[in-house]
Structure 1
Amino acid sequence: MKKIAAILALSASTLGLSAGVSFADYTLNILHFNDWHSRIEGNNKYESTCSAEEETKGECIGGAGRLITAIAGERKKLEGQNVLLLNAGDSFQGSLFYTTYKGAVEEEFLNQIKPDAVTLGNHEFDDGETALVPYLDKAKFPIVSANVMPNDKSGASGKIKSSIVVEVGGQKIGIIGAVTNDTPELASPGPNIAIADDVKSITADVEKLKAQGINKIIAVTHIGYRRERDVIAKIPGIDVVVGGHSHTLLSNTDPKAEGPYPTMVDNPDGSKVPVVQAASYSKYLGEFKVVFDDNGVVKEASGAPIYLDKSITPDPTVLARIKELGAPIEALKNKEVAETTKAIDGSRENCRARECEMGNLVSDAILDRTKGQGVEIVISNGGGLRASIDQGTVTMGEVLTVLPFQNTLATFKISGKDLVAGLESGLSQVEDGAGRFPQVAGLKYSFDKSVAPNAGRVKSVEVMENGAWAPINPDKQYLVATNN
């Protein structure tokens, strides 16, 4: 009897002690990449397709071969630990592989990579449902996006989850996806797919997951670093944001980085939320570690993006498959179309923020092509320029890497007043690196970025008339060409 009493007393004291002790922390390792943009082959320093010669010299970065090697290596290194692999969208569009195969190649390698969740980017909608639906049908990984709303007439209906729950190391993790709100302006989702508000959609799924007892929630979003940092990370209940869309490099060591990796954000619920991105074009594989307490609150987060340069050996089986897939497009890719005596800058950081060399070249080329129709002015968006070109022979492959979207030219008449308003709109998101920045020909303008968006950033506009610059006439109708 005394023995039983002693055991009961010991049990009671043990229970009393455990009431004041936390369960063990939970550590989750997250691998991630975003904005792959069909860079199936490696990139050179101009973010164009890497040549065999550049590969031999060790100058190539990224590509499916290196990406798959890097992911396999990190998974092996983290074997036995809690690991998630996430993709934040825009695997489509950006090379002849997409132009030729319409997403099938990107999906083939994603199926091989086996991500735990993938969200949709705006470029997944570039060809409407024609490329999107086969991608959804053949994906062997969950596709999540809370604000993509197909109706019953859409082939995408029932194929996109707003969120999922995965179990890793005995813990349930909620993963919510979302795409940028302006996808209908940037791409072509079509009449049967609506894009709902990102914050409202994510918030609704947070509440749904919390009601299931999920206390660790990751937002995998294709929205852009600034909004992911300033808005999405502040949605109560969000614990981690893995982002994309703005091609943002985050780093604690690279002076060119836009912010620290991860960027820690104060959530209104009192927690700290890590926000990450891994640049673009498979040049980096993001890797960071998040430590949660037993209430699902982030205690700490740390890591660094891995640069996929010559130190990463491309998977030889993948390279062989790329060669096989590339055979039908090799002749077109290697066709020589021009020579340039110097490199032509088409970098994202320049063409979305200021006049750039590639913007001038493309706009001037459009004007040259259309001036016989009476076109006076060309406006092209900086976001349509996707790479630079190096000095020397220019191939069709390089041209199509710079201009991958198969745009046509459109001409229209517009008043000087409305044209200035269009420039004002084009300058309204310079801070976000938005693709609407206006590159021009036959026109020049000045602007002041310190002025609030749509509040008079445009300071002067002049048009070329009879070989001389003249102030734009607000009442005159101008014939304008643009890429459509």
Structure 2
Amino acid sequence: MGSYMNKTMYKGLLATAIIVALTGCNSSDDDATVNIDTFNLRIAHINDTHSSFDPTSLDFTAQVNSEDMSINTDVGGYPRVATALNNARTMAADENKPFLALHGGDAFQGSLYFNVLKGAGNATLLREMNLDAMTIGNHEFDLGDGPLIEFVNKVNFPLLAANLDTSADSQMSGVTNIKPYIIKEYGDVKVGIFGLVLEDMKSISSPGEDLVFNGEVVTAQATVDALNEMGVDKVVMVSHIGLDRDIRIAESVNGVDVIVGGHSHTLLGDFTNIGRGMGSSIASYAEMITNPNGTSKTCIVQAGEVAQAVGQADITFEDGDVTVCQGNNTLLIGDNFTHEYVEDTSESLTEADQSAVEAFVAEQDNIAITEEDALLRSIIDIDYKPLIEQFEGKVIGQVFDANDPVDTGMLDHVRQPGVKRNGASLPVTGSEAGAHVAASMVWKLNQHGYGVDMAITNTGGVRNDIKNDENGDLTAGYIIGSLLYFSNELAIVELKGSDVTQLLEDTINYSLTTSSGSFPTFANVEFTFNGKAVAGEQIEDLHICPNGVAAGSCTDIDPDMTYKISTNAYIAGGKDGYDIFDTKKLSPVIKSGFIDNESMIEYVEALTLAGQKLEEIPTGLTFIAPTSFEANLDNPVFKPEDNQ
């Protein structure tokens, strides 16, 4: 299986070799007298790995017998990333080609491994990947300076942040492994690598009060100039500022040759061959941006999120300037293929289809079957998984629903109002459980300064009621294994008020006609859905409630105002009837790095710490079913008293 990964990398190397050879063939006799200083560099890179020690799930399309086949498999995880990086380094060494392995920041957060281990697990596993440098992401500061300092002191590579001034901070000023830049020497050639972090870090994370984050553009130009004065004319920036700001750096700063980015979770490149579209509408992989001097250019790369892919770029410098930059991201998958999930089930492939999909994958440059590194897998399974299992048994609080006539230790869940699953029909208000899941999204993101106005997510992402165990307790394991087991990432979408209204009407109707799980559940919003009204007028009395529906102080939605909406990353991409999230968004989707089940656990723990139980809260919905849907409603209604 590992041969697939090597084969993919070989294709990229072969393409580079052909281009270089063709360039040489085009040289005239007159050109042969010109002495051009040529230097070739290979960079493998990752970013926003977010403690994704284990694989996640990937849906893709394979061409089998001239037809598209929808496939699900596992993708990424730290052991596969380690394999890919080590293979890339070995192949570069075999070719005697200078090589860098870089991390674009945000190793912290993203999974229960981080919740339990903080930065320690990342430090141990990333040490085994032979990284040359990493920059500092905003999530590295989520728990303050302490865990970051411990991480920095344990890893065997430097953390780079040229615009971070630690001099006034008593804790961080003495940390020697945080540097503005490093210089790598390859024979008599020097390559400078500097880091750039968010200039507005304090608005979305929790760094120490005495840390100073300087301007991105000014710092980048000053650092390039300083490196040039030291005789370094090949400069790589490893950043955690997002694709749009990386482009701004390229357009505003002279002399940054390559930007290895992070923060926006952008899987740059063309993935239409596997049914996943283009990674970005504003840049391709290895996009070349002309600098303000009109001559030099900057190559920009970024490798997605949650340790699913490794990027690899081959860069050619001539007389200090980049003339060729090319490569691609490669999704690192397993070979345990099934047909794509429908609801909760999937179907294994036939032996013939399995072979056909493997053959298809082997022909692609941007997806590869990749073996896990055995050492990293053993560390995770032996040292870390038992700690996670112990955490899952942790009591985080208690559920109490005073309105429930049958079980006061349960908050009922329905996908569609009036259609019961395990408990109440809830024909007017919809899901009690979903209301708390949505509230936890707002709570988590606003704890970290994102300033979201509301949450809108899909009831299909909420998998069960919220209920106590036989001991009367709610455990972390129940949240992870029964309530929110998809482990969706929290995302933020900006929409105009008028589009919020249309989104709610569209998704409810899509649920009632096409996909039950697309019905929205929400926080900080209240309205009536009148299914008997004409299309376009079914959302009535839509109000925004900044402190939650129960707190009151709700105001009419402003159709022209921009609202920040928390949702999950899956539907933020326009899936399951949520097209408006994709087609009407006012800015790129922000992926937070926080996971829904982890956020829900912390939300319940915060209530418990405040002496509160998880009680029923207003859902914000008044549902009037369309006549066409009335036949689907429970008759009689189950637990009619349990419906605020």
- Assess same fold via TM > 0.5: yes
What SS class does the counterpart of residue 562 from structure 2 fall into? helix
What SS class does the counterpart of residue 113 from structure 1 fall into? coil
How far apart are 1:147 and its partner, in Å?
1.5
- Counterpart in 1 of 2:101? 85
Matches of 2:559 and 2:150, distance apart in 1: 39
One-letter amino acid of the structure 2 residue matched with residue 274 of structure 1: C
What SS class does the counterpart of residue 300 from structure 1 fall into? strand
| Cα separation, partners in 2 of 1:369 and 1:95, compared to 1, 3 Å | closer
| Cα separation, partners in 2 of 1:243 and 1:20, compared to 1, 3 Å | same
1:307 maps onto 2:331 in alignment: yes
- Counterpart in 2 of 1:480? none
How far apart are 1:155 and its partner, in Å?
1.6
Matches of 2:81 and 2:441, distance apart in 1: 41
1:424 maps onto 2:482 in alignment: no
Q: Which runs of 5+ in 2 are unaligned?
A: 1-29, 60-70, 335-368, 396-409, 416-430, 444-450, 466-476, 492-523, 525-545, 566-583, 593-617, 625-644
- Counterpart in 2 of 1:257? 279
TM-score (norm. length: structure 2): 0.53
Matches of 1:39 and 1:21, distance apart in 2: 50
Residues 53-92 of structure 1: matches in 2 within 5 Å? 59-79=73-93, 80-92=96-108
Q: How big is each residue's C-alpha offset from its partner over 1:7-56, in whole Å with a ceiling of 9 and x where there is no partner?
A: xxxxxxxxxx999522441100000000000101111238xxxxxxxxxx
Matches of 2:315 and 2:32, distance apart in 1: 25
User: Relative to structure 2, which stretch is displaced further, 333-342 or 64-73?
Assistant: 333-342
What SS class does the counterpart of residue 330 from structure 1 fall into? helix
Matches of 1:282 and 1:369, distance apart in 2: 26
What SS class does the counterpart of residue 191 from structure 1 fall into? coil
1:93/1:404 contact within 8 Å kept: no
Residues 272-351 of structure 1: matches in 2 within 5 Å? 272-293=297-318, 295-310=319-334, 311-324=369-382, 325-333=384-392
1:146/1:161 contact within 8 Å kept: yes
Matches of 1:338 and 1:84, distance apart in 2: 52
| Cα separation, partners in 2 of 1:362 and 1:219, compared to 1, 3 Å | farther
Q: Which runs of 5+ in 1 are unaligned?
A: 1-16, 47-56, 343-357, 371-377, 437-462, 470-484
1:88/1:120 contact within 8 Å kept: yes
- Counterpart in 2 of 1:150? 166
| Cα separation, partners in 2 of 1:152 and 1:181, compared to 1, 3 Å | closer
Q: How big is each residue's C-alpha offset from its partner over 1:409-466, in whole Å with a ceiling of 9 and x where there is no partner?
A: 9959796689969973638994232369xxxxxxxxxxxxxxxxxxxxxxxxxx9999
One-letter amino acid of the structure 1 residue matched with residue 121 of structure 2: V
2:58/2:73 contact within 8 Å kept: yes
Matches of 2:303 and 2:116, distance apart in 1: 26
Residues 213-228 of structure 1: matches in 2 within 5 Å? 213-228=231-246
- Counterpart in 1 of 2:230? 212
- Counterpart in 1 of 2:364? none
One-letter amino acid of the structure 2 residue matched with residue 21 of structure 1: V
What SS class does the counterpart of residue 326 from structure 2 fall into? strand
1:366 maps onto 2:454 in alignment: no
What SS class does the counterpart of residue 56 from structure 2 fall into? coil
Matches of 2:84 and 2:141, distance apart in 1: 28
| Cα separation, partners in 2 of 1:381 and 1:291, compared to 1, 3 Å | farther
- Counterpart in 1 of 2:292? 268
| Cα separation, partners in 2 of 1:368 and 1:183, compared to 1, 3 Å | closer
Matches of 1:143 and 1:465, distance apart in 2: 46
- Counterpart in 2 of 1:396? 479
Q: How big is each residue's C-alpha offset from its partner over 1:281-325, in whole Å with a ceiling of 9 and x where there is no partner?
A: 1111000100001x2100111111111111101012211110121
1:287/1:303 contact within 8 Å kept: yes
One-letter amino acid of the structure 2 residue matched with residue 283 of structure 1: Q
Matches of 1:230 and 1:368, distance apart in 2: 31
Matches of 1:231 and 1:152, distance apart in 2: 27
What SS class does the counterpart of residue 314 from structure 2 fall into? strand
1:341/1:391 contact within 8 Å kept: no
How far apart are 1:260 and its partner, in Å?
1.5
One-letter amino acid of the structure 1 residue matched with residue 132 of structure 2: D
2:250/2:291 contact within 8 Å kept: no
1:433 maps onto 2:571 in alignment: no
| Cα separation, partners in 2 of 1:158 and 1:23, compared to 1, 3 Å | farther
| Cα separation, partners in 2 of 1:43 and 1:231, compared to 1, 3 Å | same
Matches of 2:119 and 2:90, distance apart in 1: 28
Q: 1:25 aligns with which of 38, 41, 50?
A: 38
One-letter amino acid of the structure 2 residue matched with residue 424 of structure 1: T
| Cα separation, partners in 2 of 1:130 and 1:367, compared to 1, 3 Å | closer
How far apart are 1:116 and its partner, in Å?
1.0
1:168 maps onto 2:202 in alignment: no
How far apart are 1:280 and its partner, in Å?
0.6
Matches of 1:156 and 1:141, distance apart in 2: 17
User: Relative to structure 2, which stretch is displaced further, 192-201 or 250-259?
Assistant: 250-259
Matches of 2:585 and 2:253, distance apart in 1: 23
- Counterpart in 1 of 2:418? none
- Counterpart in 2 of 1:114? 130
| Cα separation, partners in 2 of 1:210 and 1:340, compared to 1, 3 Å | farther
Matches of 2:440 and 2:40, distance apart in 1: 57
Q: How big is each residue's C-alpha offset from its partner over 1:181-217, in whole Å with a ceiling of 9 and x where there is no partner?
A: 2321111112122222111121221111111111011
Q: How big is each residue's C-alpha offset from its partner over 1:146-171, in whole Å with a ceiling of 9 and x where there is no partner?
A: 12222433322143211111113431
Matches of 1:86 and 1:22, distance apart in 2: 32
% identical aligned pairs: 28
Matches of 2:387 and 2:91, distance apart in 1: 37
How far apart are 1:234 and its partner, in Å?
3.6
Matches of 2:463 and 2:555, distance apart in 1: 40
One-letter amino acid of the structure 1 residue matched with residue 308 of structure 2: K
1:36 maps onto 2:49 in alignment: yes
One-letter amino acid of the structure 1 residue matched with residue 329 of structure 2: P
One-letter amino acid of the structure 2 residue matched with residue 317 of structure 1: L
How far apart are 1:231 and its partner, in Å?
3.2
Matches of 1:63 and 1:110, distance apart in 2: 12
